[in-house]
C-alpha cells in the first residue's frame, strides 16, 4: 500500500486556520488536564476488573489451576487464547511506529503515540498470562537461562523458550520506542506543568531543550529503533504461532501459521487501535488531529489483513483436505461443524466476512460503522485463537480421549480482568502523557506551511 | 525530615526484622529417627514381602504384601498360589486402601442415649455384649460372610460355649444354585472347580467368567494361556459366550449368543443334545449315566430349543458338534446376573452339558464340601426370626445386609426389632451405622486368619502391620466375650494362637513363607443321580409387567458394594462403559431411541418392588428387552461410597442400589434369585452428566487397538508391515533388515550412530549407545480383557491420587495407564454438533479391542523438545524421564503427546488426595507430586532402580532378562504385558514379539514417535475356522 503524499495530509488540515504552536500544544495537552466523572467511572470499572482478576489469580495460585475449566486432553485454554490475543493486539503499535515510519507514511503521526502505548500495555497484559497459565508460577523463573550452580539450562528447542525471548525483546523495544518518542512531548509538558508533574516530566524528558543537536540524535534514534523493531513485527507473532505450528497437534501443525498469525496480529492490532481511538477522539475533541482520513487508512489496512486472514482460513481447509491425513481432515471438519462450530463461525464471520464492508468508502468514513466493525474484529480474533487452540486439542489422534473444554468463571474473570488491566493503563496514560505526538503533528504542520497548499 | 540517629536506626531495624520474621512461619520440624535396635528383617529402603491371602471376595487368591519399613504399601499376587499364580484383580489391588481408609472405625463405639455412636472401652463393650448374650438365652444370631476354616471352627465352638444361637453365613454373590445343582446332578454338595487350562472350547452361559465369575483371575489366566498355546500349535481355543449383555467375557469371546435371559439352561441342554448326536461320550466314570442324560435331553432338539430361546438351530448344532469334538471342553454355568428362579435347573443343565461331553472329571472337578456354605434361605429365616422378635442379639460380621439384601426382604425393618445389633465392620457401612455396638475388626493386613478356597488349597492370612487403631480381631472379640461370660471350653490365649494351633500339622514357618499349603487333591467322584429328573427345565417366571427384563449385573469393581467406599475402585472406570463414580442403566440403542433418551437422560425404572431414577447408557451390546443396572452403588454411608458432605459420614446415595428394585425371591433350592423382575422403563425427563473416561469406541481406522484374522495371520502377511519397516526419510535408502527381526541383530551389532531421524526404527536405537538398557514393552491386545487390574496396580504403585466425581467429569483422572475399548476398526464418520456417546457394538457380534494405553517411552518423543525447562527428557536408558521438581507446568508436553498419557496436578493432591491416614500407605520410592506439575508413566522406574541396585550389590553389571517387572505387568491375570531390556538378545519382551510376528504394530506409528511399546493385535477367530 502506497502511503498517500504528505500534501494530502496537509490538505486535510488546511481548512482550519493555521494554528500557532501554542494552539496545538494547548489542544493536545488539554487531554491531560482535569478529569471528568466519566473518566473516573471508566477508570474504576477497569481497576475493578483488574482487581477482581488479581484476586482470582491469587486464589488460583493458592488452590491450583484446577479452578479453571481445563479438561483432559485440552490443557491449554482461555489463558493462552487471551495471551495470543494480546500479543496480536500489540502488533499495530510497532507496525505503525516502525514500518510506516520507514515508509514515511506521514498519516501515522496522529495515531502512532496511542498505538505505541497500546503495544506496550498489550505486551504487558499478554506477559501476565504466561504467569497465569503455568502450573507453578513460583518456579517460572526456571524458563530463564540464568547461570546457576546446579548446571541447569533451558531447552532451546522449545518454542515456549523462543516465546519468552520474543516477548521480552518485544516488550523492551516497544517500551524504548514509546519512551524515545515521548521525550520532546514530555519537554513541552514539562514547560507547562506544575507540582509533581513538573518533577515527573522533568525527569522523564531527560533535559530536552529542543536543540537541533538533540533533534538530530532523536531522529536518528527513532530511525534505528524502527530498523530494529521492523523484524520484530514479523518475528514476534511468528514465534507465537510456532508454539502451535511446531507441535504435532492436528490443526496446529501447519507451515502457514507464521504469516497467518502475523497478518492476524496486524489485523487485530489495527482493530484495537480503532476501538480505542474512536471514543478517545470523540471524548477529547481531537477530530482536528485524528481525522477520518486516519481512520480510513487504518480500515484499508484492516481490509487487506482481513483478506490475508480469510485466505489463510481457506488455505488451512484446503491443505487439510489435500494432505489426505485423516486426523487432520477430521479435526478441520469438527472445527467447522463439531462441538466448537459456534466459535468457528463467529471467527469466520467477524474476521473474514464483516470487514468486507470496508470495500465501500462510505463504510470506511462512517465512524460508527468502523467502531462496530473493529469491535467485531476484536471478538472474532479472540475466537480465532480459541478455535485453533481448543478445537485442535480437543480432537487429536486418540479418539478414546477426545475431550470438551469450556471456560470456567475464574478464567472468564481473569480474561475480563486483562481488559481492565489494559484499559486502566491506557486511561492513566491519557492523563499522564500526550496521547497524540505533539512534535510530530507540528512537523506535519511545518511541512504544510513550507510547501503551501499547492504542494510540490 | 527528622534525623534518624544510630539508636533510632537500630530500633527500626530490630522492629522490622521481628515483623518480617513474625510474618513467616516454618513447616513443623519432622525428625527421622533411626531404629535403636534395628529389626533383623528391616533394611531401610528395601521392601519386605509377606505371604497372605486376599479377603476381598470369596475366591481366596494368594497375596504377597509388600511392606516398606513396617508398612504395607502394595499387594501383589503370590506366584506360588495355585489360584492366582501371582496375579491379582482390580479389587484385590485396591483392597489395601481399606487399612488406610479415613472412614475407619478407630475404637469401639456404643450408641448413647442421644442415638449417636460414642467411644467406649473394649472391656465395657465386651462386658455389654456378654451381658446381652447371657440374657438372650440362645436368641443370639451371628450373620457373617464366609469365613476361613479356623474362624469358622471357633464360631461353632463359641456358640456351644455361650449357650447356642443361630449361625448364618451370607454372601450376596455366592454360587449357591451351582452348589445345589451339583448336589442334584452328581450328589456332591459343593461348587465344582472349572479348569480352563489347556482348554480348546469354553462355553460360558453368562457367568462373566473373566470379569465377575467364579474365579476371574484364574480363568482369565488359564484361557489366555490356552489360547496362546493353541495358536502356537495351530489349533484353536474358542470361547463362546451366552448372555444378554456384552460384558467382559463376551468382549473377549469369539462368538456371542444373546438368547432370551433365563433360557441359558435350555440352550445348554440343546447343545448337549446336539453334542451327543455328534458323538460326544460322557467320560469321568459317567458312562453309565448316558442313558439318564439322553432321557433328560429328549425334548431338547435344536428346533424346539430355537423356538424357546431364539438361538438358531443351526448354531446349536454347530456348537454341539464343536464341543463334542473338543478335547478339553468346559461349560460354565450362569453367574449372579442370570440366577433366575430356576437357577438350580439352569446350573444343572450346564453341568449335564459338561457331563455329556465328558468334561466332568477332566475340566470340571467335583470337590468335597468345605466349611459353612452361604445360604440365602438361612438369611430369609433369620429375617423372619428378627421380625418376630426371636433374635435379641445380632452380630454382623463382614457383610452389609442393609445394603446388599433386597429392600423387599424386610431386613432393614426387622433390624429395629433386635435389642442389640453388633457390627464388627472396620469401615462404616449401612448396617454398622444402625448398630448399637460397633466392635471394629482389624483389616486383612492387620489380621491373622486362613482360608480354604477349595480342597487342598489352604492359605494363610498373616498380619503385616501393627493395628493402626484400637481395633480387635473378630476372633478375639468372640473369645473375650465368651470369657467375660465365664464360658468354658474355648481355647486359651488369643485368636492368633487359635490360628497357629489349627496349622499345627504343617511347617508353620514354611506356611508363613509360602502363604499356605497347596496340594492337589483328587477330585470327588459323583454320578448322575435321579435328582436330575426332578428338575424342570423351563423358562423362569419374571415378576411384574413391563417391556424390559431387569438384569442386576455384578459390578467387576465394586462387587456387591463392598468396594464402593474405596476411592480407587470408584475412580477406576467400568471396563465396559468406562463410567466411574456413578450408576447407570444400560439399555439398547434401539430401546433408547424408542424411549427418546440419550446418554445421561434419566430413566424411571419401576418394578412391583420399587422405583428408581437412573441415567441411561444406550449401547449396542445389549438385548432390546433388557435393562442392566450394576450392583454396588447406592450407598448412603461413607466418604467415597455416598455423597456425604465433606467431614461427614452419611449423605445422599451415590448412584442407585439395584436391590431397591428386586424382590426377595429364591430359586428351587432356596438360593437368591436375581433375574426375577420385569421393569417398566420410561424417560423421567431429567439429565445427569455421567463421569465417563471414554466417549467413543470408534477408533476411526487409526493405528490403535488393531485386530487380525487367523487366516491373515496364517498367510504371514502383516497389514502393518509397511509401518513396521524402516522409517526412511525421503530419498535416503533404508538399511537392510526389517522391523522386529532386526532388533536382535542390531543389539548384537551395537548401536546405530546415525542421526535419530535417519536411523531405522528399532527401539534398541533409542537409548544412549553405551547404556546397557533400552526398556521396552510388548502388550498383547488379544490377551487383554479390560479387567483394569493393571490400572489399579499402577495407582497403588505410583501414588496416583484419585480426583473424585467432579474431577472425572472434567476428565482429570490421573491414571497413568488406561484401557481403551474400541469396537471394530471404526468408521471415519463426520458428525456435527456436540457429540453424544458413540457406540458401535452390535448384538451378537464381538469385535472388542481392549488396548492398554500408557506412556510409550518414545524414541523420538514429541513431549521432549517442547518442554522449555527440560523437565521431561530422554534418559540414557531410553525412558522419557519426568523431573517433577523441574516442571513449571506449561503443559505443552501433554498437548504434543499423541497418546495423551500425561496427567496434570490441577490441585494439590498431596493434601487433597490422601486424607489422613491414607498417606501412610504411599510408596516411599515414588515422589508424591505437588500442585502444578505434569506426571506420567515411567515404566515403574523405581522398580528398575531397585533392580539395578540389587544387581550392583551382587556384582552383576546388567540385569537379567525379566528381572524387573512393572506393577501393571506383575498383576496382569493374562500376562498381556511383557517388559524387559530390549538390548538383551534373549529378553522376554522381544521374544514375545518375535513369537507373534505378524501381529506386531506400534500405536499411531505414522507419527514416527518410535514408541518402545510393541502391541500385538487381537486375533479374530472367525466362524467356521474351528479345529
- Residue ranges covered by each domain of chain B: 109-169+372-454+456-518, 177-365, 542-687, 707-783+961-1020, 791-826+855-942
User: What is the C-alpha separation between A401 and A378, in angstroms, rounded?
Assistant: 32
User: What is the C-alpha separation between B902 and B887, in angstroms, rounded?
Assistant: 13
Is the bond preceding residue A316 a cis peptide, omega within 30 degrees?
no
Q: Please state the rounded mean pLDDT for residues A379-408.
A: 93
Q: Is B811's CB within 8 Å of A73's CB?
A: yes
Q: Does the pLDDT of residue B773 top 80, yes or no?
A: yes
Nearest to B236 by CA among B227, B245, B244: B227
Residue A75 has its nearest CB partner, among B831, B886, B891, at B891
> Is the Cβ of B811 closer than 8 Å to some Cβ of chain A?
yes
What are the grid coordinates assigned to B241, written together?
Answer: 459366550
- With a pLDDT cut of 70, the percent of chain B lying above it is 93
Q: What is the ipTM of this complex?
A: 0.90
In a domain, A302, yes or no: yes
| Confidence at residue B760, expressed as pLDDT on a 0 to 100 scale | 63
User: What is the C-alpha separation between B301 and B309, in angstroms, rounded?
Assistant: 12
Distances (CA, A) of A394 to A340, A404, B231, B314, B621: 10, 6, 40, 47, 27
Q: Does the pLDDT of residue A7 top 60, yes or no?
A: no
Q: Please state the rounded mean pLDDT for residues A248-273.
A: 92
Nearest to B122 by CA among B469, B489, B486: B469
Measured in angstroms, the CA of B804 and the nearest CA of chain A are apart by 13
B29 vs B130: which has the higher pLDDT: B130
| Confidence at residue B537, expressed as pLDDT on a 0 to 100 scale | 83
In a domain, A305, yes or no: yes
- Chain A residues in contact with B862 (beta carbon < 8 A): 247-248
Measured in angstroms, the CA of A424 and the nearest CA of chain B are apart by 28
In a domain, A55, yes or no: yes
User: What is the C-alpha separation between B886 and B368, in angstroms, rounded?
Assistant: 61
Q: How many helices (H) and strands (E) does chain B have?
A: 32, 39
pLDDT tens sequence across B421-476: 999 999 999 999 999 999 999 999 999 999 998 888 999 999 999 999 999 999 99
Q: How many helices (H) and strands (E) does chain A have?
A: 19, 0
Q: Does the pLDDT of residue A455 top 70, yes or no?
A: no
Q: Please state the rounded mean pLDDT for residues B690-699.
A: 91
What's chain B's average pLDDT? 88
Q: Please state the rounded mean pLDDT for residues B570-585.
A: 95
**DSSP-assigned beta bridge partners for residue B245:** B622
Residues 981-1010 of B with CB under 8 A from A: 1004, 1007
| Confidence at residue B722, expressed as pLDDT on a 0 to 100 scale | 62
Task: Classify residue B350 as exposed, middle or buried by CB count within 10 Å of its CB (0-12, 13-18, 19+).
Answer: buried
Nearest to A431 by CA among A271, A272, A206, A201: A201
> Is the Cβ of B829 closer than 8 Å to some Cβ of chain A?
no
Q: Please state the rounded mean pLDDT for residues A25-31.
A: 73
Measured in angstroms, the CA of A21 and the nearest CA of chain B are apart by 42
- Chain B residues in contact with A404 (beta carbon < 8 A): 834
- With a pLDDT cut of 90, the percent of chain A lying above it is 56
| Confidence at residue A4, expressed as pLDDT on a 0 to 100 scale | 53
What are the grid coordinates assigned to A48, written together?
Answer: 475493578
Q: Please state the rounded mean pLDDT for residues A417-421.
A: 95
Q: How many structural domains comprise chain A?
A: 1
pLDDT band for position B726 (cuts 50, 70, 90): very low
Which CATH class name applies to B177-365?
alpha beta
Contact A387, A246 (CB under 8 A): no
| Confidence at residue B482, expressed as pLDDT on a 0 to 100 scale | 93
pLDDT band for position B744 (cuts 50, 70, 90): very low
What's chain A's average pLDDT? 87
> Is the Cβ of B883 closer than 8 Å to some Cβ of chain A?
no
Residue A155 has its nearest CB partner, among B834, B867, B889, at B867
Of A142-151, B155-164, B281-290, B918-927, give the lowest mean pLDDT range: B281-290
> Is the Cβ of B702 closer than 8 Å to some Cβ of chain A?
yes
Interface probe for A, chosen from B577, B694, B891 (most Cβ of A below 10 Å), is B891
| Confidence at residue B523, expressed as pLDDT on a 0 to 100 scale | 77
Measured in angstroms, the CA of A308 and the nearest CA of chain B are apart by 28
Range of the domain at A198: 6-451
pLDDT tens sequence across B178-200: 999 998 888 888 899 999 999 99
User: What is the C-alpha separation between A176 and A172, in angstroms, rounded?
Assistant: 6
* Residue of chain B nearest A398, judged by CA positions: B899
Interface probe for A, chosen from B888, B907, B1003, B1009 (most Cβ of A below 10 Å), is B888
| Confidence at residue B966, expressed as pLDDT on a 0 to 100 scale | 96
| Confidence at residue B25, expressed as pLDDT on a 0 to 100 scale | 55
DSSP secondary structure letters along A33-102: S---HHHHHHHHHHHHHHHHHHHHHHHHHHH-GGGS--BTTB---HHHHHHHHHHHHTHHHHIIIIIHHH
Q: Please state the rounded mean pLDDT for residues B319-330.
A: 93
pLDDT band for position A453 (cuts 50, 70, 90): very low
> Is the Cβ of B820 closer than 8 Å to some Cβ of chain A?
yes
Q: Is A136's CB within 8 Å of B888's CB?
A: yes
Cα B65–chain centre separation: 17
DSSP secondary structure letters along B890-932: --HHHHT-TT---EE--S-HHHHTS-TTGGGGS-TTSPPP-TT
In a domain, A93, yes or no: yes
Of A98-107, B154-163, B782-791, give the lowest mean pLDDT range: A98-107
pLDDT tens sequence across B257-295: 999 999 999 999 999 989 988 888 776 666 666 667 777
Q: Does the pLDDT of residue A170 top 80, yes or no?
A: yes
Q: Please state the rounded mean pLDDT for residues B950-962.
A: 92
pLDDT band for position B1008 (cuts 50, 70, 90): confident
- Chain A residues in contact with B781 (beta carbon < 8 A): none
Domains B542-687 and B707-783+961-1020 alike in fold:
no
* Residue of chain B nearest A60, judged by CA positions: B907
Angle between helices A159-192 and A195-204 (to 10 degrees): 130
Fold that domain B791-826+855-942 belongs to in CATH: Alpha-Beta Plaits (3.30.70)
Q: Does the pLDDT of residue B747 top 70, yes or no?
A: no
Q: What CATH number belongs to B707-783+961-1020?
A: 3.30.70
| Confidence at residue B401, expressed as pLDDT on a 0 to 100 scale | 94
With a CB cutoff of 8 Å and minimum separation 6, the contacts of B249 are B204, B207, B208, B209, B210, B211, B213, B239, B241, B243, B785
* Cβ pairs bridging A and B (under 8 Å): 182
Interface probe for B, chosen from A62, A75, A80 (most Cβ of B below 10 Å), is A75
Burial A308-347 (b: 16+ CB within 10 A, else e): ebbebbeebeeebeeeeeebbbbbbbbbbebbbbebbebb
User: What is the C-alpha separation between A210 and A443, in angstroms, rounded?
Assistant: 13
- Chain B residues in contact with A137 (beta carbon < 8 A): 888
Measured in angstroms, the CA of B258 and the nearest CA of chain A are apart by 27
pLDDT band for position B249 (cuts 50, 70, 90): very high
| Confidence at residue B23, expressed as pLDDT on a 0 to 100 scale | 54
pLDDT tens sequence across B49-67: 999 999 998 899 999 999 9
pLDDT band for position B22 (cuts 50, 70, 90): low
Interface probe for B, chosen from A335, A398, A402, A407 (most Cβ of B below 10 Å), is A398
Q: Does the pLDDT of residue B732 top 50, yes or no?
A: no
Q: Is A330's CB within 8 Å of B830's CB?
A: yes
2.40.40.20, 2.60.120.20, 3.40.50.300, 1.10.3720.10: CATH of B542-687: 2.40.40.20
Of A23-32, A318-327, B301-310, B445-454, give the lowest mean pLDDT range: A23-32
A391 DSSP 8-state letter: I
pLDDT band for position B723 (cuts 50, 70, 90): low
Q: Is A330's CB within 8 Å of B828's CB?
A: yes
Q: How many CB atoms lie within 10 A of CB A365?
A: 14
pLDDT tens sequence across B887-915: 999 999 999 999 999 999 999 988 778 88
Contact B887, B933 (CB under 8 A): yes
Mapping DSSP to helix (H, G, I), strand (E, B) and coil, where does residue B50 land? Answer: strand
| Confidence at residue B211, expressed as pLDDT on a 0 to 100 scale | 93
Distances (CA, A) of A9 to A96, A293, A300, A441, A444: 16, 8, 16, 11, 8
| Confidence at residue B392, expressed as pLDDT on a 0 to 100 scale | 93
- Chain B residues in contact with A160 (beta carbon < 8 A): 866-868, 890, 892
Q: How far is the first Cα of chain B from the last one, in angstroms, to the nearest whole number? A: 104
In a domain, A456, yes or no: no
Task: Classify residue B100 as exposed, middle or buried by CB count within 10 Å of its CB (0-12, 13-18, 19+).
Answer: buried
A245 vs A455: which has the higher pLDDT: A245
User: What is the C-alpha separation between B885 and B866, in angstroms, rounded?
Assistant: 17
Residue B142 backbone phi and psi in degrees, to 5: -125, 115
In a domain, A386, yes or no: yes
Q: How many CB atoms lie within 10 A of CB B924?
A: 15
User: What is the C-alpha separation between B653 and B343, in angstroms, rounded?
Assistant: 31
Measured in angstroms, the CA of A332 and the nearest CA of chain B are apart by 10
3.30.930.10, 3.50.50.60, 3.40.50.150, 3.40.50.740: CATH of B109-169+372-454+456-518: 3.40.50.740
What is the pTM assigned to this prediction?
A: 0.91
pLDDT band for position A8 (cuts 50, 70, 90): low
pLDDT tens sequence across B478-522: 999 999 998 888 888 999 999 999 999 999 999 999 999 998 877
Could you identify the residue written with the cell 486368619? B449
> Is the Cβ of B906 closer than 8 Å to some Cβ of chain A?
yes
Interface probe for B, chosen from A60, A61, A62, A64 (most Cβ of B below 10 Å), is A64
Of B233-242, B322-331, B428-437, give the lowest mean pLDDT range: B233-242
| Confidence at residue A456, expressed as pLDDT on a 0 to 100 scale | 38
**DSSP-assigned beta bridge partners for residue B904:** B934
**Kind and range of the H or E run holding B872:** strand B872-874
Q: Please state the rounded mean pLDDT for residues A25-35.
A: 74
pLDDT band for position B980 (cuts 50, 70, 90): very high
pLDDT band for position A11 (cuts 50, 70, 90): low
Amino acid at each position: 500500500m502506497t502511503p498517500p503524499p504528505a500534501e494530502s495530509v496537509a490538505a486535510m488540515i488546511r481548512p482550519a486556520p493555521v494554528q500557532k504552536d501554542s494552539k496545538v500544544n494547548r489542544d493536545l495537552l488539554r487531554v491531560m488536564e482535569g478529569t471528568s466523572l466519566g473518566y473516573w467511572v471508566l477508570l474504576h470499572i477497569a481497576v475493578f476488573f483488574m482487581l477482581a482478576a488479581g484476586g482470582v489469580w491469587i486464589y488460583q495460585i493458592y488452590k491450583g489451576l484446577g479452578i479453571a475449566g481445563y479438561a483432559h486432553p485440552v490443557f491449554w485454554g482461555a489463558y493462552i487464547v487471551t495471551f495470543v490475543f494480546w500479543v496480536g493486539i500489540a502488533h499495530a503499535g510497532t507496525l505503525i511506529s516502525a514500518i510506516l515510519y520507514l515508509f514515511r507514511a506521514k498519516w501515522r503521526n496522529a495515531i502512532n503515540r496511542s498505538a505505541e502505548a497500546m503495544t506496550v500495555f498489550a505486551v504487558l497484559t499478554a506477559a501476565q498470562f504466561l504467569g497465569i497459565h503455568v502450573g507453578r508460577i513460583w518456579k517460572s523463573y526456571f524458563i530463564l537461562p540464568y547461570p546457576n550452580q546446579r548446571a541447569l539450562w533451558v531447552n532451546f528447542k522449545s518454542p515456549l523458550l523462543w516465546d519468552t525471548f520474543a516477548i521480552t525483546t518485544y516488550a523492551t523495544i516497544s517500551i524504548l520506542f514509546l519512551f524515545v518518542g515521548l521525550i520532546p512531548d514530555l519537554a513541552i509538558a514539562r514547560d507547562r506543568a506544575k507540582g509533581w508533574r513538573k518533577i515527573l516530566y522533568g525527569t522523564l524528558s531527560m533535559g530536552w531543550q529542543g536543540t537541533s543537536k538533540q533533534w538530530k540524535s532523536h531522529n536518528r534514534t527513532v530511525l534505528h529503533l524502527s530498523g530494529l523493531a521492523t523484524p520484530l513485527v514479523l518475528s514476534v507473532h511468528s514465534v507465537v504461532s510456532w508454539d502451535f505450528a511446531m507441535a504435532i497437534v492436528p490443526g496446529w501443525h501447519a507451515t502457514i501459521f507464521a504469516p497467518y498469525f502475523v497478518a492476524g496480529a496486524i489485523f487485530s492490532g489495527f482493530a484495537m487501535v480503532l476501538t480505542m481511538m474512536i471514543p478517545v477522539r470523540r471524548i477529547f475533541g481531537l477530530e482536528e488531529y485524528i481525522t477520518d482520513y486516519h481512520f480510513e487508512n487504518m480500515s484499508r489496512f484492516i481490509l487487506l489483513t482481513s483478506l490475508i486472514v480469510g485466505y489463510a482460513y481457506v488455505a488451512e481447509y484446503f491443505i487439510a483436505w489435500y494432505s489426505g491425513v485423516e486426523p487432520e481432515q477430521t479435526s478441520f471438519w469438527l472445527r467447522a461443524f463439531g462441538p466448537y462450530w459456534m466459535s468457528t463461525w463467529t471467527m469466520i464471520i467477524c474476521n473474514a466476512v464483516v470487514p468486507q464492508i470496508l470495500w465501500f468508502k462510505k463504510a470506511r468514513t462512517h465512524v460508527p460503522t468502523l467502531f462496530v466493525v473493529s469491535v467485531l474484529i476484536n471478538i472474532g480474533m479472540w475466537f480465532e485463537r480459541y478455535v485453533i487452540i481448543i478445537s485442535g486439542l480437543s480432537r487429536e489422534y486418540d479418539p478414546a480421549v477426545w475431550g470438551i473444554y469450556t471456560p470456567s468463571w475464574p478464567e472468564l474473570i481473569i480474561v475480563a480482568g486483562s481488559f481492565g488491566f489494559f484499559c486502566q493503563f491506557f486511561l492513566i496514560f491519557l492523563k499522564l502523557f500526550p496521547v497524540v505526538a505533539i512534535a510530530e503533528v507540528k512537523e506535519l504542520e511545518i511541512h504544510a506551511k513550507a510547501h503551501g497548499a499547492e504542494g510540490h | 525530615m527528622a534525623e534518624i540517629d544510630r539508636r533510632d536506626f537500630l530500633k527500626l531495624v530490630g522492629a522490622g526484622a521481628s515483623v518480617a520474621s513474625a510474618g513467616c512461619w516454618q513447616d513443623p520440624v519432622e525428625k527421622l529417627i533411626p531404629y535403636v535396635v534395628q529389626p533383623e528383617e528391616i533394611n531401610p529402603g528395601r521392601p519386605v514381602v509377606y505371604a497372605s491371602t486376599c479377603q476381598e471376595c470369596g475366591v481366596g487368591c494368594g497375596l504377597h504384601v509388600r511392606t516398606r519399613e513396617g508398612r504395607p504399601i502394595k499387594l501383589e499376587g503370590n506366584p506360588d498360589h495355585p489360584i492366582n499364580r501371582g496375579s491379582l484383580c482390580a479389587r484385590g489391588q485396591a483392597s489395601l486402601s481399606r487399612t488406610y481408609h479415613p472412614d475407619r472405625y478407630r475404637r469401639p463405639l456404643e450408641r448413647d442415649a442421644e442415638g449417636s455412636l460414642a467411644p467406649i472401652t473394649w472391656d465395657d463393650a465386651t462386658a455389654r455384649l456378654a451381658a446381652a448374650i447371657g440374657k438372650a438365652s440362645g436368641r443370639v444370631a451371628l450373620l457373617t460372610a464366609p469365613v476361613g476354616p479356623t474362624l469358622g471352627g471357633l464360631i461353632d465352638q463359641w456358640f456351644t460355649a455361650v449357650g447356642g444361637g443361630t449361625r448364618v453365613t451370607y454372601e450376596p454373590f455366592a454360587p449357591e444354585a451351582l452348589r445345589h445343582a451339583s448336589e442334584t446332578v452328581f450328589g456332591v454338595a459343593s461348587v465344582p472347580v472349572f479348569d480352563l487350562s489347556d482348554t480348546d472350547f469354553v462355553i460360558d452361559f453368562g457367568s462373566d467368567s473373566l470379569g465377575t465369575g467364579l474365579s476371574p483371575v484364574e480363568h482369565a489366566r488359564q484361557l489366555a494361556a490356552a489360547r496362546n498355546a493353541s495358536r502356537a500349535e495351530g489349533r484353536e481355543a474358542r470361547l463362546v459366550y451366552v448372555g444378554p449383555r456384552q460384558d467382559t467375557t463376551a468382549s473377549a469371546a469369539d462368538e456371542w449368543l444373546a438368547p432370551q435371559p433365563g433360557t441359558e439352561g435350555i440352550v445348554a441342554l440343546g447343545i448337549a443334545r446336539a453334542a451327543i448326536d455328534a458323538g460326544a461320550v460322557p467320560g469321568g466314570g459317567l458312562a453309565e449315566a448316558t442313558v439318564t442324560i439322553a432321557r433328560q435331553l429328549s425334548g431338547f432338539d435344536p428346533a424346539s430349543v430355537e423356538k424357546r430361546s431364539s438361538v438358531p438351530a443351526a448354531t446349536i448344532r454347530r456348537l454341539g458338534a464343536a464341543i463334542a469334538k473338543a478335547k478339553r471342553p468346559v461349560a460354565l454355568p450362569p453367574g449372579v446376573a442370570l440366577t433366575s428362579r430356576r437357577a438350580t435347573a439352569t446350573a444343572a443343565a450346564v453341568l449335564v452339558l459338561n457331563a455329556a461331553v465328558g468334561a466332568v472329571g477332566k475340566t470340571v472337578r467335583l470337590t468335597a464340601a468345605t466349611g459353612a456354605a452361604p445360604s440365602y434361605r438361612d438369611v430369609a429365616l433369620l429375617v423372619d426370626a428378627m421380625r418376630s422378635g426371636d433374635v435379641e442379639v445380632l452380630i454382623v460380621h463382614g457383610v452389609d445386609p442393609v445394603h446388599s439384601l433386597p429392600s423387599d426382604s424386610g431386613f432393614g425393618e426387622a433390624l429395629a426389632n433386635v435389642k442389640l445389633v453388633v457390627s464388627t465392620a472396620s469401615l462404616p457401612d449401612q448396617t454398622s451405622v444402625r448398630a448399637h455396638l460397633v466392635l471394629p475388626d482389624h483389616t486383612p493386613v492387620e489380621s491373622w486368619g486362613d482360608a480354604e478356597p477349595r480342597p487342598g488349597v489352604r492359605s494363610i492370612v498373616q498380619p503385616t502391620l501393627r493395628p493402626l487403631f484400637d481395633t480387635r480381631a473378630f476372633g478375639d472379640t468372640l473369645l473375650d466375650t465368651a470369657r467375660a461370660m465365664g464360658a468354658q471350653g474355648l481355647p486359651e490365649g488369643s485368636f492368633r494362637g487359635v490360628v497357629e494351633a489349627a496349622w499345627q500339622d504343617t511347617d508353620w514357618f514354611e506356611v508363613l513363607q509360602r502363604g499356605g499349603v497347596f496340594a492337589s487333591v483328587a477330585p470327588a467322584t459323583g454320578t448322575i443321580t435321579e435328582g436330575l429328573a426332578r428338575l424342570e427345565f423351563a423358562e423362569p417366571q419374571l415378576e411384574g409387567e413391563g417391556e424390559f427384563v431387569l438384569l442386576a449385573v455384578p459390578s467387576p469393581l465394586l462387587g456387591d458394594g463392598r468396594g464402593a467406599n474405596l476411592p480407587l475402585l470408584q475412580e477406576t472406570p467400568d471396563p465396559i462403559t468406562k463410567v466411574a463414580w456413578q450408576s447407570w442403566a444400560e439399555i439398547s440403542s434401539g430401546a433408547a431411541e424408542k424411549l427418546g433418551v440419550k446418554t445421561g437422560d434419566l430413566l424411571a425404572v419401576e418394578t412391583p418392588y420399587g422405583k428408581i431414577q437412573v441415567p441411561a447408557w444406550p449401547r449396542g451390546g445389549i438385548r432390546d428387552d433388557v435393562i442392566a443396572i450394576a450392583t454396588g452403588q447406592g450407598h448412603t454411608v461413607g466418604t467415597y461410597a455416598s455423597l456425604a458432605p465433606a467431614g461427614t459420614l452419611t449423605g445422599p446415595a451415590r448412584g442407585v442400589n439395584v436391590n431397591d428394585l428386586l424382590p426377595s425371591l429364591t430359586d428351587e433350592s432356596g438360593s437368591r434369585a436375581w433375574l426375577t423382575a420385569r421393569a417398566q422403563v420410561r424417560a423421567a425427563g431429567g439429565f445427569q452428566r455421567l463421569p465417563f473416561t471414554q466417549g467413543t469406541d470408534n477408533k476411526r481406522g487409526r493405528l490403535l487397538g488393531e485386530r487380525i484374522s487367523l487366516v491373515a495371520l496364517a498367510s504371514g502377511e502383516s497389514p502393518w508391515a509397511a509401518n513396521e519397516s524402516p522409517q526412511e526419510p525421503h530419498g535416503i535408502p533404508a538399511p537392510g533388515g526389517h522391523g522386529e527381526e532386526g532388533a536382535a541383530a542390531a543389539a548384537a551389532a551395537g548401536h546405530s550412530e546415525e542421526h535419530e531421524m535417519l536411523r531405522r526404527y528399532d527401539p534398541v536405537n533409542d537409548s544412549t549407545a553405551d547404556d546397557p538398557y533400552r526398556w521396552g514393552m510388548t502388550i498383547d491386545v488379544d490377551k487383554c480383557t479390560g479387567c483394569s487390574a493393571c490400572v489399579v496396580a499402577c495407582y497403588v504403585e505410583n501414588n496416583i491420587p484419585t480426583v473424585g466425581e467432579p474431577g472425572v467429569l472434567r476428565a482429570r483422572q490421573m491414571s497413568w495407564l488406561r484401557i481403551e475399548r474400541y469396537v471394530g476398526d471404526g468408521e471415519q464418520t463426520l458428525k456435527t454438533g456436540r457429540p453424544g456417546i458413540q457406540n458401535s457394538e452390535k448384538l451378537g457380534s464381538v469385535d472388542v479391542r481392549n488396548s492398554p494405553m500408557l506412556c510409550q517411552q518414545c524414541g523420538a518423543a514429541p513431549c521432549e523438545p517442547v518442554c522449555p525447562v527440560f523437565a521431561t527428557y530422554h534418559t540414557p536408558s531410553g525412558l522419557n524421564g519426568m523431573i517433577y521438581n523441574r516442571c513449571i507446568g506449561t503443559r505443552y508436553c501433554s498437548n504434543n503427546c499423541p497418546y495423551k498419557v500425561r496427567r496434570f496436578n490441577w490441585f494439590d493432591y498431596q493434601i487433597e488426595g490422601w486424607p489422613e491416614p491414607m498417606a501412610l500407605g504411599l510408596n516411599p520410592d515414588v515422589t508424591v507430586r505437588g500442585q502444578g506439575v505434569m506426571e506420567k508413566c515411567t515404566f515403574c522406574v523405581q522398580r528398575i532402580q531397585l533392580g539395578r541396585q540389587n544387581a550392583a550389590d551382587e556384582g552383576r553389571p546388567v540385569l537379567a532378562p525379566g528381572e524387573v517387572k512393572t506393577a501393571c505387568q506383575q498383576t496382569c491375570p493374562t500376562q498381556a504385558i511383557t517388559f524387559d531390556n530390549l538390548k538383551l538378545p534373549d529378553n522376554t519382551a522381544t521374544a514375545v514379539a518375535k513369537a507373534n510376528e505378524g501381529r506386531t504394530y506400534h500405536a499411531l506409528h505414522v507419527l514416527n514417535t518410535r514408541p518402545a511399546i510393541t502391541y500385538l493385535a487381537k486375533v479374530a477367530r472367525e466362524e467356521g475356522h474351528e479345529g
